[in-house]
Amino acid sequence: MRKRKNIAYWVVLAVVLVITGGCRRAAEAKKCGVTVSLPAVAYFVDRLLPDSIEVGAMIPPGDNHDTYSPQPSQLVRLTSSVAYVALGPLEFETTWRERIVSSAPEMKWIDISNHVDVIGEGESRDPHYWLSPRRCRQMVEGMRKELTGLFPSAADYISTEARKLDGELVTMDSLMVVAVGERAEAFLTYHPSLTYIAADYGLEQLAIESEGIAVSANSVRETIDRAREKKVGVFFVQAGYDEARVGVIAEETGGRIVKIDPEGSDPMECMRLIARTLAGRDGDD
């Protein structure tokens, strides 16, 4: 019993030491941590930074970024962040920016879309650029610059990791090129998260839902008709959507349902699955 208590004590102490030690190691940072909106973006920031700097996402995996409201506890946690790395065109960020910044006035707001060729104008700018390997490379390079500015003592670490990540994205780009070379076509998706993949690799995205806007039954009907006319082979479906409705649309369009998690914590795996699916090889391992 006593022994177990001792172990618990050492575990707690070790955790405390790791946390405080980590903060001290990021010497130039008064506070320790970077916050982003989505788990997919946290993935990239996290890979670029040493373990001593904590990276957190505001919107939990599987939650809809068009409707999500942060918990009060999340706003409190922001006070330990040195920066908020924003995607830029995400409606969640536009809606919450003022409150996020006022809960942590010393935190720096970094808009990473300044480093990326973004599709769309004004309010209709598309936020999902991390999903196309080509735009994702621009994003990672932008993150490298911004994070190096924030944490100059970690500059070597950040540039080594950025190079590795860029290499993986170059490979992913070739995978996409080969995939669409085999079968260039239109695809159907529920949430319009694949705009950049469509633009960069010459495909047509047909989306059931519009970003942040309620779509009319008529426009859904038109999309379904167009998908049928184009003989779409694939229907990409994101987590959290009405299964029954998805089933009906799949049946009507002839698109085979493929579940993807574009905003979740493993965007590289998501890109790989999309490439394999477009090549008609998603059944393989």
Q: Total number of residues binding Zn ion (CB under 5 A)?
A: 1
Distance CA 195, CA 120 (A): 10
Closer residue to Zn ion (CB): 193 or 277: 193
Tell me the β-bridge partners of 140.
Answer: none
Tell whether residue 132 is a contact of Zn ion (CB under 5 A): no
Binding segment (CB under 5 A) for Zn ion, from list 2-10, 36-44, 179-187, 191-199:
191-199
Q: Min. distance of Cβ 260 from Zn ion in angstroms?
A: 11
Closer residue to Zn ion (CB): 103 or 238: 238
Q: 139-178 mask for Zn ion (x: CB under 5 A)?
A: ----------------------------------------
Distance CA 107, CA 231 (A): 49
Where is 236: in which H helix or E strand?
strand 234-238
Binding segment (CB under 5 A) for Zn ion, from list 10-18, 106-114, 188-196, 223-231:
188-196
The tokens of 12 are what?
């707690």
Which SS3 state, helix, strand or coil, does residue 273 take?
helix
Q: Which residue is nearest to Zn ion (CB)?
A: 193
Q: Min. distance of Cβ 12 from Zn ion in angstroms?
A: 39
Q: What is the DSSP string of 81-117?
A: -SEEEE-SS-HHHHHHHHHHHHHSTTSEEEEGGGGS-
**C-alpha closest to that of 193 among 96, 44, 87, 36:** 87
Identify the residue among 103, 193, 223, 277 touching Zn ion (CB under 5 A): 193
Q: Min. distance of Cβ 63 from Zn ion in angstroms?
A: 11
Sequence-distant (≥ 6) Cβ neighbours of residue 112 within 8 angstroms: 41, 85, 86, 87, 88, 139, 142, 143, 146
Secondary structure of 182-195 in HEC code, one letter for each residue? HCCCEEEECCCCCH
Closer residue to Zn ion (CB): 49 or 59: 59
Q: Min. distance of Cβ 20 from Zn ion in angstroms?
A: 36
Binding segment (CB under 5 A) for Zn ion, from list 51-59, 80-88, 117-125, 189-197:
189-197
Closer residue to Zn ion (CB): 52 or 193: 193
Q: Min. distance of Cβ 66 from Zn ion in angstroms?
A: 7
Sequence-distant (≥ 6) Cβ neighbours of residue 69 within 8 angstroms: 96
Q: Applying CB under 5 A, which residues contact Zn ion?
A: 193
